[in-house]
Copies of this chain bind each other. A is one copy, B any other.
Amino acid sequence: MLPYKLIYFNMRGRAELSRYILAYAQIPFKDQRVEWKDWPFVKSSFPLEQLPVLEMEGCLLNQSLAIARFLAKEAGLAGKDRLEEAQADALVDSLNDFTLCIPWREEDQKLKKEKIDKLFDCHAPKLLSFLEKHLEDRDWLVGDAVTWADLYWHVCFTTFTVLRPGFARHHQGLCTLINRVESIPQLARWIQNRPVSEF
C-alpha cells in the first residue's frame, strides 16, 4: 500500500502544489480524483466537506497548505532553518492571497472578466514586484536552494497564465525561475505526464 493518498478533484487547483512536492521527492502516492457527479454523495466523509485531503497512516489531514507544508518538510523543501521556513511560508501565503481573489464562482461572465482584468491590472504588479524583490539576483526565492515557494510560484504562474497570458513577461527574473523549476527532471516528468485540465 502506498504511504500517501492525496484526494482532490480532477484538476490542478488546490492539490497541485502537493503533487509537485511528492513528484519532486519521488514519493509514490495515490493521486485519487473525485468526479463532480460523485462529490455530493461522498463529501460528508471529509473534514469540513472540503478537498484536498491527505490520507496517511489512517489519519486525514485537511487544508491544502497544511498538507503541502507537511510534505515539503518530508521532501526537504521547507527551508533550511526557521527563518527560511518563515520566508517560504510568507511567500506561499502571499501567492495564495492572490489566488483567493480570483472570482472563481462568479457566474456573470462579463462581470467575471471585469474582476479578473482588475485583479491583473491593479494587483498583480504589486505581487510581482514583491516576488522579484525577494528573488533579487539569486537562483531561488528563499536562500540558495529550491523550496516549496518556488514550486508554488510555478503552480500559480501556470494558472495565472490561463487567465492572463504573458502576465509576468516583464519580470525576467521570475520567468527565469519558471524555467529553472521546469528543468528539475522529476518535475518536468510530472508536468508532461499529469492529467490535462484547464485549472
Does more than half of chain A's interface fall in helix, strand or loop, or is it mixed?
helix
Chain B: CB-nearest residue to A134: B47
Chain B residue numbers with a CB within 8 Å of A61 are 86-87, 90
Q: Is A99 an interface residue (CB 8 A)?
A: no
Which residues does A use to contact B, with CB under 8 Å?
47-49, 59, 61-63, 65-67, 69-70, 73-74, 82-83, 85-87, 89-90, 93-94, 100, 126-127, 130
26 intermolecular pairs with C-beta atoms under 8 Å apart: A47-B94, A47-B130, A48-B94, A48-B127, A48-B130, A49-B126, A61-B90, A62-B94, A63-B90, A63-B93, A63-B94, A65-B89, A65-B93, A66-B86, A66-B87, A66-B90, A66-B93, A67-B86, A69-B85, A69-B86, A70-B83, A70-B89, A73-B82, A73-B85, A74-B82, A100-B100
